[in-house]
Amino acid sequence: MSEASVDGAALNMPECVPARMVNEYVYCPRLAYIEWVQSDFAHNFDTVDGQYRHRAVDDEKGRLPAEVEDGDVIHARSVWLSAPAEDLTARLDLLEARGKTATPVDYKRGAAPDVPGGAWEADRAQLCAQALVLRANGFDCDQGVIYYSASHEAALHRHLRRLRRSSPASRISPHARLWRPYAVFSVSL
């Protein structure tokens, strides 16, 4: 945990920001601030239903071997990895890998949107954050899948290497240190 202050009040903030908060920030920066910095969250029908639909991938199953060999086939659910150098942590719903080539699969409650790429921008940003975490842990990750459970549709996203760090943190807010991990994301999928 690191300590930061907002208007003089000390806050204990985790060292790494969850990829889920990257999703929240892209969706609505104000909502992300309320949930992350102020720790204010109330469940509603959608979040409870989402937890129910998500239950299978929340149950840890399969493991990452201590050393990944070229021929290893990995199929693991609810894998938690961190990348302190990227200021990110992620709980991967499903990790599929053959050797060091990994594909994260992120499960979502709703239906696939009718938008170019077949996924919401916030969901793509979360997937890119997961790819960064995987790369920082020694995997090659250039694609990922977002699965929308309500419509039973999956959106495959290739070229995750297009994720680039571009915006200076100082543009986010006067409290940029709290938002530093969010400030650097620029997603072009």
- What distance lies between CA 1 and its chain's CA centroid? 19
Number of domains in the chain: 1
Read off the tokens for 166.
């571009």
Closest CA to 166 of 150, 181, 185, 152: 185
Domain range for residue 114? 2-186
Q: Which residues contact 8 (CB under 8 A, 6 or more apart)?
A: none
The C-alpha atoms of residue 135 and residue 157 are separated, in whole angstroms, by 16
- Which three-class secondary structure state does DSSP give residue 123? helix
Q: Which two tokens stand for residue 172?
A: 């986010």
For residue range 104-152, what is the model confidence (pLDDT) as tens digits?
Answer: 999 998 899 999 888 998 898 899 889 989 999 999 998 999 999 889 8
Query: How far is the C-alpha of 96 from the C-alpha of 154, rounded, in Å?
Result: 15
Interval 15-73: pLDDT, tens: 788 888 888 888 888 888 888 778 887 887 877 777 777 676 666 777 787 788 888 89
pTM (2 d.p.): 0.76
> How far apart (Å, rounded) are the C-alpha atoms in residues 153 and 2?
40
The CATH code of the domain that includes 83 is: 3.90.320
